[in-house]
Amino acid sequence: MIRSLYSGVSGMKAHQARMDVIGNNIANVNTYGFKSGRASFSDVYYQTISAATGATNTSGGTNPSQIGYGVQLGSVDTIQTRATFSMTDNALDLAIAGEGFFQVQDSDGNTYYTRAGQLSIDATGNLVDSNGNFVLGVCGDPLGKSPSSSKIQIAVPNVQPSASTAAETINGVIYTIKASNQTTDGNVTFNFESDPTLPGGQPAQAFITSAGITIKLNASHRFGDLSELNDAINDAVTEANGGVQHSAGIFTITTEPSNIFPGTGLTGEDIISTDYSTTLGSITGLPDSGVFGGIGFMSVSTDFSSEGVVTFNPAIYEAEVASGDNKHAEGWSISMDVDGTTYTGYVTKEMTASGSFLMKNTDGNYVQMTHPGLAAVNVAAGIASDSSATLGDTIAAPIGDYEATASKKSEALGLGSTAIKLEGGTEGGSQTVADLSSISIGADGAIEAIHAMHGRIQLGRIDLATFVNPQGLEQSGNTYFVATANS
């Protein structure tokens, strides 16, 4: 009776241990990196009442008769399987998709292994876990380095002092603005505007705000060159800064190509304007009719460069007239002299209906004229189609003055078309994690950051530890494991 009670008690004790394992599993259902346990039972020992006997010629064999005396806890196994992932929205939180453990080290130098990847960076740049222990791996640029178990400290390379600068391409011209002093104060945004209300004698006005520097140029003031423009801008910035030079120093604008200012200079409106169109030239005083029975002015090329008094010199030919690709058996060769530049065109035999023709010079500039057709021109000139003659100006056009005005290409620089942001200014010196724009950890464990000066850089690598028998690891609390002789 007593022995049966002992056996029952052993069962209760073993099941109590199993319930402890189950309870621990339930309690840690939301613990990151936790690995559940599994309890296994084994029987204890047996009292043999009768041993087994073999069969003989006279009797059969018998089985052994035994009485068991209870149960005991055989083992508690750690189930080293991967749990489900969860999103934390923390850039430094990690999970291990395959085998392996994070390596961490406490203040006494003890090394532990864990699957919990709740990581952060402390005030001194150390990569630590949620318990404040150091995460181990490769410190610094990991390229070409073997796996390691060193403390990972995020060390951002120093930067050299540099002045802020910006480059912007506007209408084919590259504008570069650079500050003279090496400071972050030069990392500002410039906006350029034209202001027709500024009084004469004040070429520019500046406004300094937290958003940047706005430069207003006097719309009617004429700047002789880029140097004069730079002086006006810096004088205005100094005045807006309370009479003290800006902490970024002198701002200098340079261009490529460098000769963007014509000899006559540019107004503030020209510098700011974004109207890049060409103002076409013209010929004034030339009537739309009455010249050769209706030859009249239509338009000029955008590079029409002649200016002065217009004179026509028409002539009629019977023989073939050759001029480049123009070969005509009959037609008028019409020339126009403008201030020493000759423009020539043809009203040819093929031009039976009214239309237009171009009078060109050697540079390719042209004047476009209308005509009523060759027959109408002949009649208007009083010349038979089989005749030849050189006609005077009075036949070419009514007596009078005809003036030509050259086309003018836009002098607009377009500096007001966009905000120009200066960047890269720094006093230099040591850098910390706070100077990084972002930091993340890749699938290969590489710690990658973005820095304003260095760009994309790698600052370390987390190396995993693997074991032949991970179930042989011993749990030590805080989701840590320690290595054993059987791991």
Both tokens of 449, joined, read: 């950051």
Q: What is the pLDDT of residues 169-188, one digit of tens each?
A: 999 999 999 999 999 999 99
Beta bridge partners of 328: 321
Strands 46-50 and 65-68: antiparallel
Residues contacting 429, CB < 8 A, separation 6+ = 158, 159, 161
Q: Which residues of the chain have pLDDT under 70?
A: 1, 6, 285-295, 312-330, 380-401
Task: Answer for the pair 268, 218: CB distance below 8 angstroms, yes or no.
Answer: yes
387 in Cβ contact with 315 (< 8 Å)? no
Encode the chain in three state secondary structure: CHHHHHHHHHHHHHHHHHHHHHHHHHHCCCCCCCCCEEEEEEECCEEEEECCECCCCCCCCECCEEEECCEEEEEEEECCCCCCCCCCCCCCCECCCCCCEEEEECCCCCEEEECCECEEECCCCEEEECCCCEEEEEECCCCCCCCCCEECECCCCCECCECCEEEEEECCEEEEEEECCCCHHHCCEEEEEEECCCCCCCCEEEEEECCEEEEEEECCCEECCHHHHHHHHHHHHHHHCCCCCCCCCCEEEEEECCCCCCCCCEEHHHHHCCCCCCECCEEECCCCCCCCCCCEEEEECCCCCCCEEEEEEEEEECCCEEECCEEECCEEEEEEEECCEEEEEEEECCCCCCEEEEEECCCCCEEEEEECCHHHHHHHHCCCCCCCEECCHHHHCCCCCCEEECCECCCCCCCCCCCEECECCECCECCCHHHEEEEEECCCCEEEEEECCCEEEEEEEECCECCCCHHHCEEEECCEEECCCCC
pLDDT of res. 473: 86
Residue 257: asked if its preceding bond is cis (omega within 30°), the reply is: yes
Q: Name the token pair of 58.
A: 């006279």
Task: Please tell me the distance from the alpha carbon of residue 166 to that of residue 46, in angstroms, as a whole number.
Answer: 90
Q: What is the pLDDT of residue 321?
A: 43
Q: pTM of the prediction?
A: 0.55
Short-list 105, 142, 102, CA closest to 118: 102
CA separation for the pair 114, 270 (Å, rounded): 68
Q: In Å, what is the CA distance from 39 to each residue of 75, 95, 302, 470? A: 6, 27, 94, 17
How much is the pLDDT for 388?
55
**Which pLDDT does position 319 carry in this prediction?**
35
Residue type, 57: N
Q: In this structure, which long-range contacts are made by residues 194-203, counting pairs with CB atoms below 8 Å and at least 24 apart in sequence?
A: 194/219, 194/268, 194/269, 194/271, 194/272, 194/273, 194/416, 195/219, 195/268, 196/220, 196/269, 203/228, 203/232, 203/236, 203/268
Distance CA 276, CA 411 (A): 7
Q: CB–CB of 436/449 below 8 Å?
A: yes
pLDDT of residue 393: 44
Least Cα distance to 191 among 478, 422, 454, 428 occurs for: 422
The residue ranges of every structural domain in the chain are: 2-78, 102-158+430-482, 165-277+413-421, 282-405
Question: Tokens in use for 452?
Answer: 């304003």
CA 432 – CA 126 distance, rounded (Å): 11
Separation of alpha carbons 437 and 450, rounded Å: 5
State the residue for tokens 């018998």.
62
Neighbours of 392 (CB within 10 A): 10
* pLDDT number for residue 305: 81
Going from the C-alpha of 98 to that of each of 114, 136, 149, 457, 469, the distances in angstroms are 13, 18, 19, 27, 15
Instruction: Give which of 439, 482, 477, 483 is closest to 131, Cα–Cα.
Output: 477
Please give the Cα distance from 221 to 200 (Å, whole number): 7
